[in-house]
Amino acid sequence: MPELPEVETIARGLETRVAGDTVESVWIGSRPQPLKSPASAIAATLEGKRIARVHRAGKHIVFDLEAQPNQGGRLARRQPRPAASLPTAQWIVHLGMTGRMVVCEPAAEIAKHTHLIAKLASGRELRFIDPRMFGKLSVHSGGFDPGGVEPLEVSEERFVALFRGRKTPIKSALLNQKLLRGVGNIYADEALFRAGIRPRRRAAAITREQLRKLHRAVREVLREAIALGGSSISDYVDADGEEGFFQLQHRVYGREAEPCLVCGTAIRRVVLAGRSSHYCPKCQK
């Protein structure tokens, strides 16, 4: 499943390509699985709206929409408005495990498992494709809040307060989207390695200083991953259809039985709440 760096990369690419464009019409397939809002509500919300901004909220791609007046029988297009303005409505896209957002020409072949096609005033199409249908499409009246705290913005003090005293393993706490939104399996493993903390350790047993170190590690890993376009594991590609490169920098994730890049000890894998966790038994305590 794409995590924060992958979703951020895709959202930035879409912002560059479609912000300021207008949705003229929407086609939605017959499969209900990808729809969190009714198909009729999605179409009615998108059609005739200008895409003012595309950004990320947690693991969601958010399209800020605004009503677009008719001018001379055609939908007018304007420059994107300031981000501080409240949108008329929002289109929320969660990519799930295999979801993709593609901007293409109308003549481009329609891929199998295409669930939505939005025709844009620029003449292009914005398509949502999801083979496994774990992604979700929904619309909101504005001010979408996925819950949790944004890890790239959370202060050190707030971060420590989120996890201090919790009885769950620290890895499970990092994956709790109600606490910290956007962090998933890959980046939790990588941040814990850099902080020298084992994934099974109870959050309550971790000192304040160790949590401060983890705060720095989480932000460092996420920023590095965004700079490299995310990690291409399985199906992930960005808005250009290109793979990311951060998987080449993984120090523990997916490296079971391989030597630690710091000390040479074999990387171990354990399962926590049904998720694989990778760590170095020497570097992490």
The model's pLDDT over 253-277, given as tens digits with 9 standing for 90+, comes to: 989 999 999 999 999 999 998 889 9
**Chain mean position to CA 81:** 24
Q: What does the alpha-carbon distance between residue 169 and residue 165 come to, in Å, rounded to a whole number?
A: 11
What pLDDT sits at residue 187?
92
Q: What does the alpha-carbon distance between residue 132 and residue 118 come to, in Å, rounded to a whole number?
A: 21
How many C-beta neighbours within 10 Å does residue 72 have? 6
What pLDDT sits at residue 242?
57
* Mean pLDDT of all residues belonging to the chain: 89
What share of the chain in percent tops pLDDT 70? 87
Cα separations in angstroms, 157 against 153, 186, 187: 12, 24, 21
The torsion angles phi and psi of 185, rounded to 5 degrees, stand at -60, -45
Which of 79, 91, 165, 84 has its CA nearest to residue 126? Answer: 91
How many C-beta neighbours within 10 Å does residue 285 have? 10
Assess whether pLDDT exceeds 60 at residue 285: yes
The model's pLDDT over 39-92, given as tens digits with 9 standing for 90+, comes to: 999 999 999 999 999 999 999 999 999 987 654 334 444 455 544 556 789 999
The model's pLDDT over 165-215, given as tens digits with 9 standing for 90+, comes to: 999 999 999 999 999 999 999 999 999 999 999 999 999 999 999 999 999
Region 30-47: mean pLDDT is 96
Q: What does the alpha-carbon distance between residue 158 and residue 40 come to, in Å, rounded to a whole number?
A: 41
* For the chain, domain boundaries: 4-140, 156-279
What pLDDT sits at residue 71?
41
Q: What does the alpha-carbon distance between residue 188 and residue 222 come to, in Å, rounded to a whole number?
A: 10
Handedness of CA 86, 20, 236, 194 (dihedral sign): negative
Region 25-34: mean pLDDT is 95
Which of 173, 172, 164, 162 has its CA nearest to residue 205? Answer: 164
Number of alpha carbons in the 13 Å side-chain half-sphere of residue 259:
4
Token digits for 69? 């007046």
Rounded to 10 deg, the angle between the 208-227 and 4-18 helix axes is: 40
What share of the chain in percent tops pLDDT 90? 75
Q: 4-140 belongs to which homologous superfamily?
A: MutM-like, N-terminal (3.20.190.10)
What pLDDT sits at residue 249?
74
What pLDDT sits at residue 163?
96
Helix (H, G, I), strand (E, B) or coil at 94: strand
Residue 132 is which amino acid?
R
What pLDDT sits at residue 273?
80
What pLDDT sits at residue 240?
54
pTM exceeds cut of 0.75: yes
Region 104-113: mean pLDDT is 95
Which residues are known catalytic residues?
2-3, 59, 275
| pLDDT, greater one: 122 or 143 | 122
Query: Which CATH code for domain 156-279?
Result: 1.10.8.50
What pLDDT sits at residue 236?
46
Q: What does the alpha-carbon distance between residue 101 and residue 235 come to, in Å, rounded to a whole number?
A: 12
Q: Label residue 73 left, alpha or beta by phi (over 0 means left) and psi (-120 to 50 means alpha).
A: left
**pLDDT band at residue 164 using 50, 70 and 90 as cut-offs:** very high
Q: What does the alpha-carbon distance between residue 145 and residue 8 come to, in Å, rounded to a whole number?
A: 16
Residues 6 or more apart in contact with residue 108 via CB below 8 angstroms: 125
